[in-house]
Amino acid sequence: ENGEVKLQQHGQTLSLQMGYNDSIELDVQAYFDQFYAVKLSNYRVTEDVAAGMNRFIYQGVSGNFSS
């Protein structure tokens, strides 16, 4: 704050770069629609939110991942 360090955190930084198959979204959406009263879209983590997380580095999520 104003060029002065207020808090120093020690620990590790975790970096995430995940991939997944886009078709899973249909299954997860159907599950949420059937069993939850909240919307799945409420759980999205956008880049602007993730950028403010001090212990995680957001590297993006891409689809079409297969193992």
- The Cα angle at residue 13 between residues 9 and 14, in degrees rounded to 5: 145
Share of residues in the chain with pLDDT > 70 (%) = 57
How many CB atoms neighbour CB 40 within 10 A?
14
- pLDDT tens-place string over residues 28-53: 889 888 998 888 777 776 766 656 55
Who has greater pLDDT, 64 or 46? Answer: 46
Task: Give the mean model confidence (pLDDT) for residues 48-66.
Answer: 55
pLDDT of residue 66: 42
pLDDT of residue 65: 44
Q: Return d(Cα 38, Cα 44) in angstroms, integer.
A: 12
Looking at residue 65, the DSSP 8-state letter turns out to be -
Q: Which amino acid is at 8?
A: Q
